[in-house]
A and B are shown apart, each in its own frame.
Chain A
């Protein structure tokens, strides 16, 4: 069995290595035909003279080629800006589209084979590594050697993985032309779902994301197979990621309907109220689009308070949400790295609520502009000073680069804890108007600290448990792992009448001694 695991690990690493090295595999040749088919009519005349000189010239890698395209267009733009010919500036991402169209070599010739080798091999390897655990270990909490392992305890593997993830996000968000080979790699799947569609960096991201949630979800299902709560919850995040976040929007597009993720909502979905998005749903989306628009608003106006009241914030954060889904599956090996100090809690409260306020102000301005048909508010250009910085700092850097890239360094919920405006909103409701709480069990707590150690949100659960006090915290996502790892059966996620939720600690102790605050 251990042999199977070692083979599996090697197959997985080989697939990963192939995937990474794929970036360096191809040559790039721009031809006149490609130029004519991919460049917009209105740009062709101006771009032809500057591109002509690189026609039929072969470049050995994507970095040189994409830079050449980018710089060529940028030179023209600089010129146009200098002459204040604003309408002449080209905003299209020709580096991306032309690079993709000009790619030559094995990635184009053997796309499907490579796809199967990488993702088939990756899955096979991962499963060979994961599945034998069923017979090697009895069901139960098995956190053995987590803090001795270089992956789980910020050792060299963790730092290497963090670096890889951070680089991946930076490439994906800001240098998508460099990952053209990966975008081409997932093209067969895109065509399978949607024959008329073209794979993009976002399809690539969606696929990798779903792949990670499913494979690591299987690991989670096996690791916590003694706990029905964890099994049902994991199955839920796997379903929502695969069906609702990944497949359904693609299918909608195939049916000529707007792309829409039914489980995402404002303010996490920060471009929901962007003019282009509202227009897409309400004007060109037909009755389905209108339904989506109403659904999206109902979800955060009615859905959040009602569901949080009855179930706690967990109904979203650890059962439905995509960010939560990744954190609970791929992020599970890193949950112990969250900072539990009081200081971290203070930072968290300032930061997450600041992002919520930023999201509200930004959205308010965007909506104001949409309704009034203007571009600015109080003399401030909305796009330049609000919408764009939000997209860059919160949407890309915080939720992506830091949120996931830092899994192996700061734990799996950095974004959810410090940055997610929706989590802040859900948390507000959970703190002040909900039936949910984590209860503690009389005097059974032995202060061992497993609960706090494995709380991904960095809540010092033990502080409550050892004094017999209910845990009512806005940040608690209800993953239930504190309860799972408790060796004495002390913690339980419960939904009960609101009364007594903030009651006095009920530590069962000596007769007549009541705990004081």
Chain B
């Protein structure tokens, strides 16, 4: 019986453990210093907002681990000794392994701003960050969030739920316009403002000011404006959490470097999830993907490999989803912030300004490339199949209604969307639709 040790009990590590257990009797140990049991990191905001209790965020009840013979160790790994297959823990405990899986996740970025280590300056990634935010936000009136991404908007929503005024510094021209095309970025910016967030576009953080007691008093922006606040949220992305691997002999760059089998340079050490940097290219995907489902998929893949059927990480067409305050967002395929050469686009926006769709296709072949959808739910299964089959843009529009995943009685917009498309691209639609 081989001993498999996993560092990190997030979605990647836990998925690996569960899938290994399904096809092997090996000993499985998960080490984590974050929480005793697996919880859903994506639900941190809902705990703060009172939508859920911490208990509700655990996908498996506490008896699950023992029943499936997955040992949990609540400790922090300080170092990995690959030459003698041993982990050194904070408590002094040593854990040996035959196979090691690194699933250590990420940590919030800090870019060396003056004052970034003051009290009440924080990111939001871990359970500890949540506890810190609970402390830091007690009794305060104003907060500044730096960085217009997904965690930034979550943090804004969290603070709003406690009636804390939020000023939101965004470096880009519109909210998340480094990822979203300008039309959608504008739509979301407007929506963010409608929730009484003081959105400052094309504005960066210059420094954070001390109140004399080591706490935040306010900040100064790149436009030299001073903003008084008692909490600063730094949400300018996350980076792999790998500093403890420096002297381990495991090759790292920005993340732990892995091949297609999620294997590091050390044969019995694998890495999965947020902490990974792929050494090979996958079309339409970045080499570090800090997304819930990629962690899950890597966990599935590495379990197969370790259990004797080597499987490559091939996640298929890109997809993702998020929720910006009240507007749900889903994306399938690739929609770049700027239209690429030989790409065509069609953008539809509902008059209520809460729903929109953005289609991208290849101009010459008319092959559908990607879609952004706001306020309308779409069926993943359909779009995954269409992207893999390289269907044309006209095919996608003709079958758009089949991909609608909104609940019953919701207004359907497909006729309106198709009409608008026909007006703009009369030559593209097939006869059956006209």
Chain A residues at the B interface, C-beta cutoff of 8 Å: 138-141, 143-149, 226-229, 231-232, 341-342, 441-444, 446-450, 452-453, 462-463, 466, 480, 483-485, 487-489, 492-493, 506, 508-513, 516
User: Considering the chains assembled together, what is the distance between the CA atoms of A480 and B407 in angstroms?
Assistant: 8
User: Considering the chains assembled together, what is the distance between the CA atoms of A139 and B191 in angstroms?
Assistant: 12
In the complex the two chains form, is A463's CB within 8 Å of B59's CB?
Answer: yes
Q: Is B56 an interface residue (CB 8 A)?
A: yes
Contacting residue for B50 out of A149, A228, A231, A449, CB 8 A: A149
Given contacts A488-B322, A509-B296, 14 further A-B contacts (CB under 8 A): A139-B326, A143-B50, A145-B50, A228-B410, A229-B408, A442-B380, A442-B381, A444-B321, A448-B52, A452-B56, A463-B59, A489-B377, A492-B407, A513-B297
Task: Tell me the minimal C-beta distance from B130 to chain A in angstroms.
Answer: 14
- In chain B, positions 287-326 with a C-beta closer than 8 Å to chain A are 292-293, 296-297, 300-301, 304, 311, 313-316, 319, 321-323, 325-326
Q: Residue of B at shortest CB range from A152?
A: B50
Q: Is B418 an interface residue (CB 8 A)?
A: no
Contacting residue for A147 out of B53, B378, B406, CB 8 A: B53
User: Considering the chains assembled together, what is the distance between the CA atoms of A488 and B150 in angstroms?
Assistant: 13
- In chain B, positions 133-182 with a C-beta closer than 8 Å to chain A are 161
Q: Residue of B at shortest CB range from A341?
A: B61
In the complex the two chains form, is B326's CB within 8 Å of A489's CB?
Answer: no
Contacting residue for A441 out of B304, B315, B379, CB 8 A: B379
Q: Is B425 an interface residue (CB 8 A)?
A: no
In the complex the two chains form, is A449's CB within 8 Å of B411's CB?
Answer: no
User: Considering the chains assembled together, what is the distance between the CA atoms of A371 and B326 in angstroms?
Assistant: 61
Interface residues as binary, B27-56 with A (CB distance below 8 Å gives 1, 0 otherwise): 000000000000010110010011111001
Contacting residue for B311 out of A229, A443, A510, CB 8 A: A510
In the complex the two chains form, is B379's CB within 8 Å of A442's CB?
Answer: yes
User: Considering the chains assembled together, what is the distance between the CA atoms of A493 and B408 in angstroms?
Assistant: 8
Q: Residue of B at shortest CB range from A514?
A: B300
In the complex the two chains form, is A449's CB within 8 Å of B326's CB?
Answer: no
Contacting residue for B49 out of A143, A493, A506, CB 8 A: A143
Task: Tell me the minimal C-beta distance from B114 to chain A in angstroms.
Answer: 35
User: Considering the chains assembled together, what is the distance between the CA atoms of A231 and B410 in angstroms?
Assistant: 10
User: Considering the chains assembled together, what is the distance between the CA atoms of A444 and B53 in angstroms?
Assistant: 22
* Interface majority SS (helix, strand, loop, mixed), chain A: loop
Task: Tell me the minimal C-beta distance from A9 to chain B in angstroms.
Answer: 18
User: Considering the chains assembled together, what is the distance between the CA atoms of A511 and B312 in angstroms?
Assistant: 9
Given A483-B407, A492-B377, A511-B316, do A448 and B326 touch, yes or no (CB 8 Å)? no
Task: Tell me the minimal C-beta distance from A229 to chain B in angstroms.
Answer: 4
- In chain B, positions 403-420 with a C-beta closer than 8 Å to chain A are 405-411
Q: Residue of A at shortest CB range from B57?
A: A449
Q: Is B90 an interface residue (CB 8 A)?
A: no
Contacting residue for A148 out of B42, B50, B61, B292, CB 8 A: B50
In the complex the two chains form, is B300's CB within 8 Å of A513's CB?
Answer: yes
In the complex the two chains form, is A487's CB within 8 Å of B311's CB?
Answer: no
In the complex the two chains form, is A447's CB within 8 Å of B11's CB?
Answer: yes
Task: Tell me the minimal C-beta distance from B103 to chain A in angstroms.
Answer: 15
Q: Residue of B at shortest CB range from A516?
A: B22
In the complex the two chains form, is B381's CB within 8 Å of A506's CB?
Answer: yes
Given A146-B51, A483-B407, do A508 and B59 touch, yes or no (CB 8 Å)? no
- Which residues in A have their C-beta under 8 angstroms from that of B58? 449
A-B contact pairs, 18 of them (CB 8 A): A138-B195, A143-B50, A144-B161, A147-B50, A147-B51, A228-B408, A231-B409, A342-B61, A441-B381, A443-B319, A444-B319, A447-B292, A480-B407, A489-B328, A489-B405, A493-B408, A509-B297, A513-B297
- In chain B, positions 183-199 with a C-beta closer than 8 Å to chain A are 194-195
In the complex the two chains form, is B304's CB within 8 Å of A513's CB?
Answer: yes
Task: Tell me the minimal C-beta distance from A381 to chain B in angstroms.
Answer: 46
User: Considering the chains assembled together, what is the distance between the CA atoms of A138 and B197 in angstroms?
Assistant: 14
User: Considering the chains assembled together, what is the distance between the CA atoms of A146 and B56 in angstroms?
Assistant: 13
In the complex the two chains form, is B42's CB within 8 Å of A447's CB?
Answer: yes
- Which residues in A have their C-beta under 8 angstroms from that of B328? 487-489
Given A144-B49, A441-B380, A509-B296, do A488 and B321 touch, yes or no (CB 8 Å)? yes
Q: Is B384 an interface residue (CB 8 A)?
A: yes
Q: Is B264 an interface residue (CB 8 A)?
A: no
Q: Residue of A at shortest CB range from B296?
A: A509
User: Considering the chains assembled together, what is the distance between the CA atoms of A480 and B409 in angstroms?
Assistant: 12
- Which residues in B have their C-beta under 8 angstroms from that of A510? 297, 300-301, 311, 313-316
